[in-house]
A and B are shown apart, each in its own frame.
Chain A
Amino acid sequence: MKARQTGIYIVVLALAAVLLLLAFAITPFSEITISSDAAYPIFIASLCAIFAIWIVVSEERKRKHSKPVKDEETEQTEDISPDEENQSVFNLDALVMMGMIAVYGILLVFAGYIIATLVFTAGAVTYLYNRDFKTGLLVGFISTFIIVLVFKYGFSVILP
């Protein structure tokens, strides 16, 4: 849990620092006035930095006051509760889907909406629904057909 928390702190503080740098880069420092185009972003980025520090402080205080979970079988105390484990960012299914989404984005540009959607839905349904390729392919074909029919011809929406 400590490593997880440290990861959040690093991301939040780094993001706040980047926002501050970006805000200060808008106008040369000597030209910044309260009504200039950089004043508002600097103000907001500074607030973000304060909130980022507040997150670190409050999460640390929360962590210090929370009791460690005791494993009933081994009688050892664990740092991670089952609920927190379920909250893990690195969920395999979600990460695989993100990969598929990235491929989908590339296919959209190079192969067009219909082919990209067919490949994506067939692949995603196969992966998510019992690894059943036949169902995946069937759902891919039917859903792509219906989507194109409804959106392109029904709602006159221009597809990517």
Chain B
Amino acid sequence: MALNILFVAMGVFAGIYVGAIPGLSVTMATSLLIAMTFSWNTELALAVMIGVYVGGVYGGSRAAILLNIPGAPSAVATTFDGYPLAKKGKAGKAIAISTMTSVIGSLVGLLALWLAAPLVSKFALSFSPRDYFLLTLMGLLLVGSLGGKSVPKGLFAAGVGLMLGVVGMDPISGLGRMTFGITELRGGINYISVMIGLFGIGEALYQIRFRKSKVIRQEVGAIRPPMKKLLQMLPLSLQSGIIGTIVGALPGAGGEIAALLSYDTAKYTVRKPRVPFGEGAYEGVVAPESANNAAVGGALIPMLTLGIPGDSVTAILIGALAVHGIRAGPMLMISNPELFNTIVIFLLAATVFLLIFGMMGIRLFAKLTEVPRGILLPLIIVISVIGSYSINNMTSDVIWTLLFGVIGYFMKCRDFPVGPLVLGLVLGPIIEVNFRRAVIGASGVGGLIGEIFTNPLSLVLFALMSAMIISQIVKSSRKNV
């Protein structure tokens, strides 16, 4: 266990570093970690991945506060007030507050995971294929609609992901589909290769466009935690932590939405901030930072209990578990309860290390972020290749990775979010199997529709899904008018 905890610490340290560099994402780091941790035992691999996940989400706030550039998408809302605080010479205090409230948020998410996951997984055992189908479809629609600047682009990307998931043997009849007679395609497209390509190589190619941008030195003095201020902020931090956990637990929503929603809520609930929001209010740092870290625990709930990823990072974690022969889902909690407890302990340890590393070594982190991109980016590509090859020791996987790296680059250039495509690929087979089982079980589509309307859980899921689709269409058409 001591070694595992050490690896959690290393993961948190690396995560803060990755998160602090604009352009390097937590998703990219965790996808690269699959290569490194391939031959490790499951617990050690999870230790470092959870460390990177927690550290990376927090690390994004560093660049957001100091440079006005969100280091990670979940730190976008932190720039609104974090940077104005830095401009006023309060960067140290802002970082201290962001660290402490990230810890509070992380603890709220952890508590929710610890309490809710066993209950959800027990409840999930009663799910029929019909409910699973509706739930996964709802998650995918949510990802597609929330995943980027354009709703149709997100949904299109998700659809393409679902179609990629069709390639290979039919899960029910075992016949090959869209394989073009190529033997390698009979097993389907390896989604880990696709993930590494899109998030690793695609991101590196995209960042090359900005390689000439100057490395900005991050100037900050000592970090002193303002305890009095922190106590004043505690209720807001808890409120944002709860919002973050709930949003994070929605399949596909993730820390970015959680942070923005919490920031928005804080603007309504904090009646009289000393400084208005957007001009350097501490509340504007507390809300998003508590929420995005709470979303980590939240996102792990659907991943561990239903096998449905809460965000892109948990999609990779599902892949990492699969590499180690473990299938995420309701049975995981029953067949392997120790693993769940281990994850909870790792998350707790990561939160403690977040506090330690967050309050110390600011100058070291600032130096680390100054590594030139011209050197860093080729190395990311090289490590991505190892990651892809190590899964099956097949060159065809490497080719997929390189190909999807180029596709990812084009998608990013044209504002097509890559997250929905990956989640479509991961969720596609689950959606299809459950859809077909539900149709066969209900003797046709008419029967399935009838069952949806007579079963309370299915009806609730269907109503939620319909409301989501309608609200997105209305929102999209309003945006365009």
Which chain A residues have a beta carbon within 8 Å of chain B's beta carbons?
8, 12, 15-16, 19, 22-23, 26, 34-35, 37-41, 44-45, 47-48, 51-52, 54-55, 58-59, 61-62, 65, 86-89, 91, 93-94, 97-98, 101-102, 104-105, 108-109, 113, 117, 120-121, 124-125, 128-130, 139, 143, 147, 150-151, 155-160
Contacts and interface: CB of A to CB of B under 8 A. Distances in A.
A52 B156 contact: yes
Interface string B402-423: 1001100110011100000000
Given A54-B152, A55-B150, A93-B209, A125 B378 contact: yes
Given A26-B178, A94-B209, A105-B398, A19 B414 contact: no
Contact of A41 (B39, B178, B389): B178
B366 interface: no
Contacts, number: 170
A48 B375 contact: no
A70 B23 CA distance: 31
Contact of B395 (A54, A59, A98, A108): A108
Contact of B35 (A48, A88, A151): A151
Contacts of A102: 402
12 contacts: A37-B173, A37-B177, A45-B163, A58-B480, A61-B481, A94-B206, A101-B406, A102-B402, A120-B378, A128-B374, A129-B375, A160-B389
B321 interface: no
Interface string B354-384: 0000000000000000001111011101110
* Range class of the B interface residue count: 35 or more
Nearest to B406: A98
A87 B409 CA distance: 11
Contacts of B386: 113, 147, 151, 157, 159-160
Interface of B: 35-40, 150-153, 155-156, 159-160, 162-163, 166, 170, 172-173, 175, 177-178, 201, 205-206, 208-209, 211, 372-375, 377-379, 381-383, 385-386, 389-390, 393, 395, 398-399, 402, 405-406, 409-410, 413-415, 428, 432, 435-436, 439-440, 444-445, 476, 480-481
B39 A97 contact: no
A158 B35 CA distance: 10
A87 B375 CA distance: 23
A128 B211 CA distance: 7
A105 B397 CA distance: 11
Residue picked from A41, A62, A117, most chain B C-beta under 10 Å:
A41
A31 B38 CA distance: 44
Given A26-B177, A51-B159, A129-B375, A160 B381 contact: no
The 7 A-B residue pairs whose C-beta atoms are closest, nearest first, are A129-B374, A128-B374, A124-B378, A54-B152, A48-B159, A51-B156, A37-B170
A121 B406 CA distance: 18
Given A108-B385, A108-B398, A44 B166 contact: yes
A35 B436 contact: yes
A143 B386 CA distance: 13
Given A37-B170, A128-B378, A91 B395 contact: no
A52 to B, nearest CB: 6
Contacts of B166: 23, 40-41, 44
Given A94-B206, A105-B399, A139-B375, A55 B159 contact: no
B439 A143 contact: no
Contacts of B389: 158-160
A20 to B, nearest CB: 10
A158 B414 CA distance: 36
Contact of A19 (B163, B372, B375, B381): B163
Contacts of B415: 87
Residue picked from B155, B166, B405, most chain A C-beta under 10 Å:
B166
A128 B377 contact: yes
A108 B39 CA distance: 22
Given A48-B163, A157-B386, 13 more contacts: A23-B163, A37-B172, A40-B436, A55-B150, A55-B153, A59-B150, A61-B481, A93-B209, A101-B201, A117-B382, A121-B382, A157-B38, A158-B389
B432 A65 contact: no
Given A40-B436, A51-B159, A155-B40, A58 B414 contact: no
B226 to A, nearest CB: 38
A143 B379 contact: yes
A18 to B, nearest CB: 10
A58 B409 contact: no
A26 B385 CA distance: 32
Contact of A143 (B152, B205, B382, B399): B382
Contacts of B208: 91, 93-94, 97, 128
A41 B285 CA distance: 45
A125 B374 contact: yes
B205 A98 contact: yes
A44 B167 CA distance: 13
B410 A55 contact: no
Given A157-B35, A158-B393, A51 B163 contact: no
B211 A93 contact: yes
B413 A40 contact: no
Residue picked from B37, B178, B206, B375, most chain A C-beta under 10 Å:
B375
Nearest to A158: B393
A35 B439 contact: yes
B160 A15 contact: yes
Contacts of B445: 34
Nearest to A151: B386
A48 B413 contact: no
A19 B163 CA distance: 8
